[in-house]
């Protein structure tokens, strides 16, 4: 009996194995609402973080209908160790190690939208950029360290490490150009990323992405330039 | 007595006979509300479909007044086997084999509007483009096959094969540039069609259209460029 | 006694005598509300009409205050044989031989506005153009013929041939560039008229206009280019 | 006793003596609400008027707060012989010899605004231009003559010749480029004035203005080009 | 015991010591709400003022949420001797020596905003410029003199000389390019400052700023050009 369980676990882990691909000019498409369709990303660096920047494109028509997860980075210490989230009533939510700040917005327009979020432990300064425009900076978790070995998931929001998804927080639409650095990018660098440049990302790199797809997620041409 | 009936039937089928014409630069004009004015289209290919794209121009001032049919493709299996429909309260409705998805919109502006809809059975991915802009993709009827020998009707919505029209779902205004393919066009191809190119349509071809007009429908110059 | 009456009638008809003038670059100005200020136009052709196009410029700030007449073409058969009318609650009204259709609009902006209306008996197709933009075509009086010897009046709406005016339907503002044809102009021709060209009008011609002014109506430079 | 009064009157009239100056590129600034700060203007011509045009720039943020005087031209016959006035609820008021017409407007935008008003006795036609755009013409005081020897005041509204001011009708903000003619300017001339030209004004001329300041009114650089 | 207190006071004054720096291209960032984070500025000139101009950039998303201080210049005579303040319900508040005037505005847009305020004792004329556009001038404290030896604070509003802060009046966001003159700048000079020029400021000079930071205030690159 134990042996059977063991085989099953091996089977499951195989089905979760990461593939690597240059995702340039393509995007993940999440066409339907579910609690079991998602993409797991494998980080280039698994070290603890005292600073980071994450950038990505999303395209969705969901923002006036309900809240949803944009980027869910769970560690064994905290399932919300880094969280980008859309709250229908508040706007963009940026969380680090639990505490969250709000960057007010009434909707995400139904057109491809570029988002960058950065944070540094030394000052607690959190920055948030929407389509190349900086929101007013806020303070978040001064002195905190994001833990190691993250479970990074697109399409679902983790309430436990790698699981505990909620269909009402699932993403629908396109996500692409996901890149992550272990530093705070300067305004000039953010602008370079926004206009399509690559600034050698060292945590997640869309050009050499290691990912695993679960459920109804498809790779298609990007709908943005 | 039977012979008389037979003659009548022949007469009716003659009056329904398709004519063929290059419809370039022209449009069908539906100037009044009725349940018996419409255009039937004869497909180049009558094979079953596991993928398709249909594009057309409409010009109407009806969208804030009531719902109406845009493109009604009935088969003997399902009178709604392919359906493009405007719902006054929801927006654009796209149905395949019964189930429908909604692409939210509050109105169709009172100016000529270009619409493309595509679907593929393998993934269930449904795309919808309005004036060259893609709406967010949705999932619809993964694994389904659209049946053969369609009754394709503009101006009315079929609730049975070739009939059962409802005056409250009739179209008023102009329809033109109706083309259909048995494949999913790429974003580049959709854009080429939107700016006036022709991508060799193989199900319906506006340049060699076979159609039959019933009632008050007129052919006039296109009001769009 | 009869002789006196006769002289009076001659006198009245003299006071109504038409003058002819090239009205190019000028407009009739109706500066005040009344039931007795108006302009009568004398048609070049007095034949019955089975098709026509009429174009004109108006400039008024009245559209959100009340309804008013734009162009009143009465015959002995019908005082509303051709009628262009603004309805504060509905928009533009276009009537032929009694029946009317509505081209929805919420207001006429307080800037010079160019209007064309055309109709053809054979199909009943009625077209309406505002500032060079076609409204969606509608169906009106298929098979009808507009009668001969019209009383054509600007500034007032006729409820009988040449009279029965209503101060609440009087026009205030400027009217100019009134031209009329006994055919349906093509979209290209409408556009040529809109940008200031002349397409040889054969019912009313602003460049050789025969008109008679009653009451406080003045001729001034056009306020549009 | 009489002698003392006499001296006082001389003193007062001295303190009211007009100065003459080229006011080009400058404006009168009325920075506070009062019933005793104003500017009197001395006309070049004191003849009766059967036609006139007056143009000026104003800059104020008062239009959604309350009504105020723009140009008050009193004669011994009528303290409102010519009046330009802003009515918070109605828009621009233009009065001649008592009767007034309204040019509807909901606000004066908080930016420098150019206004011209003209009137002619022969037809009663009154024109009103805001920032070079003509409002729809109206009829006012056909056959009337504006009287001689006006008391022309900026900043306050006269209810008697040279006095009877009301703090609730006082102007706050800037007034400049005040010019007046004893004719009706053509649309081309109005446009020339609007873009900064000078059309030899013969009633009031900003370049050779004779004026007397009372109270807190200051001359400063114009805030418009 | 007294000696200990003395040492403590020396320690505190040391911790308050001003540093001097060229702040060009940088800004102070106030990322969180507090009553103890602020920046003190040391004036180049400590003389009494009978005229002044102060200019600065702010970037905040707070204006529709609550009121806050923009520039607090306290003297021993009056803790509000010069005050620039945002009132959520009224707009910009400009105070000199107690009395305040309001420059109406409904919000500060969530983008970097340039503000200049000037005042002169001789006329009482107060000017206020937002993004290079002058508001309508108002009258304020004619004949007043601003006292010497100011405590100039960014980030908090003083209710006593150098203290009595209120967390509900604290600034959040970025402040930069703070310059101050002891004269009224002309419209041309204000425009030169707005487009990035330097007009030799002699009270506060951003290029040679002497300042002391308290609490969570950080210096970062300017987010405006
Ligand atoms: Ca969670
Ligand atoms: Ca959750
Ligand atoms: Ca149906
Ligand atoms: Ca139906
Ligand atoms: Ca009538
Ligand atoms: Ca009538
Ligand atoms: Ca008065
Ligand atoms: Ca008064
Ligand atoms: Ca205070
Ligand atoms: Ca306070
Ligand atoms: Zn085992």
pLDDT, tens only, E107-144 = 999 999 999 999 999 999 999 999 999 999 999 999 99
E102 contacts: CB under 8 Å, gap ≥ 6: E87, E90, E91, E92, E93, E94
Q: Is the pLDDT of residue D65 over 60?
A: yes
Of C223, C87, C68, nearest in space to C153 by CA: C68
- Residue C136 is nearest to which of B110, B218, B221, comparing CB atoms? B110
Q: Which of E28, E32, E155 to mutate to test the interface with A (most CBs of A within 10 A)?
A: E32
Predicted local confidence at residue B198, as pLDDT: 86
Which residues does residue B69 pair with via DSSP β-bridges, in sequence order? B85
Chain E window 185-204: which residues touch A at a Cβ cutoff of 8 Å?
none
How confident is the prediction for chain C on average, in pLDDT? Answer: 92
Considering only alpha carbons, which residue of chain E is nearest residue D32? Answer: E139
Instruction: Mark yes or no for CB contact B124/A216 under 8 Å.
Output: yes
Q: Which residues of chain E lie closer than 8 angstroms to D218, CB-CB?
A: 123, 125
Q: Which of D122, D110, D66, D75 is nearest to D95 (CA)?
A: D75
In which band, very low, low, confident or very high, does the pLDDT at C79 lie, cut at 50, 70 and 90? very high
Inter-chain CB proximity C126 and B60 less than 8 Å: no
pTM of this structure: 0.87
Using an 8 Å CB-CB cutoff, list chain E residues near D29. Answer: 125, 137
What is the C-alpha radius of gyration for chain E, rounded to an integer number of angstroms?
A: 17
- Compute, in degrees rounded to 10, the torsion defined by CA atoms A179, A185, A186, A187: 40
**Are the beta carbons of C126 and C140 closer than 8 angstroms?**
yes
pLDDT in the model for residue E225? 82
Query: Which band of pLDDT confidence, cut at 50, 70 and 90, is reported for residue C80?
Result: very high
C106 touches B: beta carbon within 8 Å: no
Q: Does A223 touch chain B (CB under 8 A)?
A: yes
Q: Which of C61, C220, C221 sits opposite D135 (nearest CB)?
A: C61
CA E126 vs. chain centroid, Å, equals 16
Contact status of E176 with chain A (Cβ, < 8 Å): no
| Helix or strand holding residue C102 (H, E) | strand C100-104
Which ligand is nearest to the Cα of residue A10, counting in written order?
11
Band of pLDDT at residue E76, cut at 50, 70 and 90: very high
Closest among B13, B157, B172 to B83, alpha carbons compared: B157
| Distance set, CA B149 to CA B9, B19, B81, B210 (Å) | 21, 18, 11, 15
CB-defined contacts C:D, below 8 A: 39
Question: How far C27 CA sits from the closest chain D CA (Å)?
Answer: 12
Identify from E29, E30, E31 which residue to disrupt to test chain A contact, counting A C-beta atoms within 10 A and taking the largest count: E31
How far is the C-alpha of E61 from the C-alpha of A91, rounded, in Å?
13
Number of CB pairs < 8 Å for D and E? Answer: 40
In chain B, residues with a C-beta closer than 8 Å to the C-beta of A111 are 133
Question: Are residues C59 and D136, on separate chains, in Cβ contact within 8 Å?
Answer: yes
Chains that touch D (3 or more CB pairs under 8 A): C, E
How far is Cα of residue A27 from the mean position of the Cα atoms in its chain? 13
Order of strands, edge to edge, in the sheet holding A19-21?
A19-21, A209-214, A38-41, A151-154, A68-74, A82-87, A91-96, A100-104
Between chains, do A138 and E31 touch, taking CB under 8 Å as contact?
Answer: yes
Which pair of tokens denotes residue B193?
Answer: 């069609």
B171 touches chain C (CB under 8 A): no
| DSSP notation for A88-130 | TTTEEEEEESS-EEEEE-S---SS-EEEEEEEETTT-EEEEEE
Share of chain C above pLDDT 90, in %: 88
Taking the C-alpha atoms of C46, C47, C49 and C54 in order, what is their torsion angle to the nearest 10 degrees? -30
The DSSP letter of residue B143 is T
The pLDDT score that the predictor gives to residue E113 is: 97
Decide if A219 touches B, using CB distance below 8 A: no
Chains touching B by CB (3 or more pairs below 8 Å): A, C
B36: distance to nearest CA of chain C, Å?
15
Dihedral in degrees, nearest 10, Cα atoms D183, D184, D188, D192? 60
Nearest CA in chain E to D59: E136
Contacts 24+ apart (CB under 8 A), C185-191: C185/C53, C185/C116, C185/C118, C186/B221, C187/B221, C187/B223, C187/C134, C190/C53, C190/C55, C190/C116, C190/C118, C190/C129, C190/C132, C190/C134, C191/C132
Distance CA B21, CA B13 (A): 19
Q: Are A129 and A53 in contact (CB under 8 A)?
A: no
Distance from CA of A6 to the nearest CA of B (A): 32
Report how far ligand 2's centroid is from the alpha carbon of A211 (Å).
Answer: 22
Distance from CA of C201 to the nearest CA of D (A): 28
Residue D15 pLDDT > 70, yes or no? no
**Closest CA relative to residue D79, chosen from D16, D143, D165, D18:** D165
Mean pLDDT by 10 residues, chain A (225 residues): 52 65 95 95 94 98 96 96 97 97 95 97 97 95 95 97 95 97 95 91 96 96 89
Interface contact B136-A220, CB threshold 8 A: no
Ligand 10 centroid distance, CA of E158 (Å): 6
**How many Å lie between the alpha carbon of A148 and the closest alpha carbon of chain B?**
35
Out of A62, A111, A218, the one facing B125 most closely (by C-beta) is A218
> Using CA atoms, how far apart are residues B46 and E169, in angstroms rounded to an integer?
73
Q: For residue A66, what are the CA distances in angstroms to A28, A89, A114, A166?
A: 20, 9, 20, 12
Among D104, D126, D187, the residue with its CB nearest the CB of C61 is D104
3-state helix vs strand vs coil in chain C, percent to 5 = 10, 40, 45
C-alpha–C-alpha distance, residues A2 and A30, integer Å: 36
Report pLDDT digits (tens) over C133-182. 999 999 999 999 999 999 999 999 999 999 999 999 999 999 999 999 99
| Tokens 């009429």, located at residue | C54
Residue C16 has pLDDT above 80, yes or no: no
Residue D198: its pLDDT value, please? 86
Looking at chain B, the whole-number percentage of residues with pLDDT higher than 90 is 88
Q: What is the pLDDT, as a whole number, of residue E14?
A: 45
3-class secondary structure per residue, B32-78: CCCCCCEEEECCCCCCCECEEEEEEEEECCCCCCCCEEEEEEECCCC
Rounded Cα–Cα distance for residues D219 and D147 (Å):
30
Report chain A residues whose CB lies below 8 A from the CB of E173: 136-137
Ligand nearest to the CA of B161: 3
Neighbouring C-alpha atoms within 13 Å toward the C-beta of B25:
1
Nearest Cα residue in chain D from C173: D136
Residues in contact with A62: Cβ distance below 8 Å, sequence separation at least 6, in sequence order: A68, A86, A171, A172, A173, B136
Query: Which residues from chain E sit within 8 angstroms of residue D111, using beta carbons?
Result: 133
Instruction: Find the helix or strand (DSSP H, E) in which E110 lies.
Output: none
B3 vs B6, B12, B17, B93, CA distance in Å? 5, 14, 21, 45
Give me the sign of the Cα torsion angle C129, C134, C140, C146. Answer: positive
pLDDT tens digits, E189-218: 999 999 988 889 999 999 999 999 999 999
Helix (H) or strand (E) holding E14: helix E2-15
pLDDT at position B5 = 54
Residues 131-150 of C with CB under 8 A from B: 133-139, 142
Q: What is the CA radius of gyration of chain B?
A: 17
- pLDDT score for A12: 47
Handedness of CA E146, E151, E157, E159 (dihedral sign): negative
Do the chains contact at D134 and C223, CB–CB below 8 Å? yes
Instruction: Tell me which residue has tokens 């506060």.
Output: E204
Separation between Cα atoms, residue E126 and residue E123, nearest integer Å? 9
- For residue B145, the surrounding DSSP H or E stretch is none
- Maximum Cα–Cα distance across chain D: 59
Residue E187: its chain D contacts at CB < 8 A? 221, 223
What is the sign, positive or negative, of the torsion defined by CA atoms of B87, B91, B96, B100? negative
Residues of chain D with C-beta less than 8 angstroms from the C-beta of C174: 136-137
d(CA D186, CA D136): 15
Burial tier of D8 (Cβ tally within 10 Å: 0-12, 13-18, 19+)? exposed
Interchain CB distance below 8 Å, A31 and B135: no
Residues of chain E contacting A187 with CB distance shorter than 8 Å: 221, 223
Contact A54, A84 (CB under 8 A): yes
* Interchain proximity A61–B104, CB inside 8 Å: yes
Beta strands in chain D (DSSP E): 19-21, 26-30, 38-41, 51-59, 68-74, 82-87, 91-96, 100-104, 113-120, 125-130, 133-134, 138-139, 151-154, 173-181, 209-214, 218-221
Determine, for residues D29 and E125 on separate chains, whether the beta-carbon distance falls below 8 Å.
yes
What tens digit of pLDDT does each residue of C41-66 get? 999 988 999 999 999 999 999 999 99
CB contact under 8 A, D136 and C110: yes
The Cα–Cα gap between A92 and A87 comes to 6
Chain E residue numbers touching D32 (CB-CB < 8 A): 124, 138-139
Q: Which residues of A touch B126 (CB under 8 A)?
A: 31
Q: What is the pLDDT of residue D74?
A: 97
Residue-wise DSSP of D27-49: EEEE-S--SS-EEEE--S--S-B
Q: For residue range D111-168, what is the model confidence (pLDDT) as tens digits? A: 999 999 999 999 999 999 999 999 999 999 999 999 999 999 999 999 999 999 999 9
ipTM for the whole complex? 0.86
Structural domain spans, chain B? 20-221
Rounded CA separation C120/C100 (Å): 14
Domain C20-221 has CATH 2.60.120.200: yes
In angstroms, the separation between the Cα of residue A103 and the nearest Cα of chain B is 24
Rounded to the nearest whole angstrom, what is the distance from the C-alpha of residue B5 to the centroid of ligand 2? 69
User: Is A32's Cβ below 8 Å from some Cβ in B?
Assistant: yes
């Amino acid at each position: 009996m134990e042996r059977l369980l063991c085989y099953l676990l091996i089977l499951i882990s195989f089905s979760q194995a990461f593939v690597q691909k240059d995702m340039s000019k393509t995007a993940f498409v999440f066409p339907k609402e579910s609690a079991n369709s998602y993409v797991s990303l494998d980080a280039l660096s698994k070290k603890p973080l005292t600073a980071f920047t994450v950038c990505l494109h999303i395209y969705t028509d969901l923002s006036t209908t309900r809240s949803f997860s944009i980027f869910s980075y769970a560690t064994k210490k905290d399932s919300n160790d880094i969280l980008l989230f859309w709250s229908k009533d508040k706007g963009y939510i940026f969380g680090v190690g639990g505490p969250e700040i709000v960057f007010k917005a009434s909707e995400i327009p139904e057109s491809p939208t570029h988002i960058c979020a950065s944070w540094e432990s030394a000052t607690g300064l959190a920055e948030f950029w929407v389509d190349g425009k900086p929101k007013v900076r806020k303070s978040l978790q001064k002195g905190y360290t994001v833990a190691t070995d993250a479970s990074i998931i697109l399409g679902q929001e983790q309430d436990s490490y790698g699981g505990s998804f909620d269909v009402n927080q699932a993403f629908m639409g396109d996500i692409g150009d996901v890149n992550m650095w272990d530093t705070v990018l300067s305004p000039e660098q953010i602008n370079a990323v926004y206009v399509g440049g690559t600034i050698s990302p060292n945590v997640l790199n869309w050009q050499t992405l290691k990912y695993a797809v679960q459920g109804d997620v498809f790779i298609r041409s990007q709908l943005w330039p």
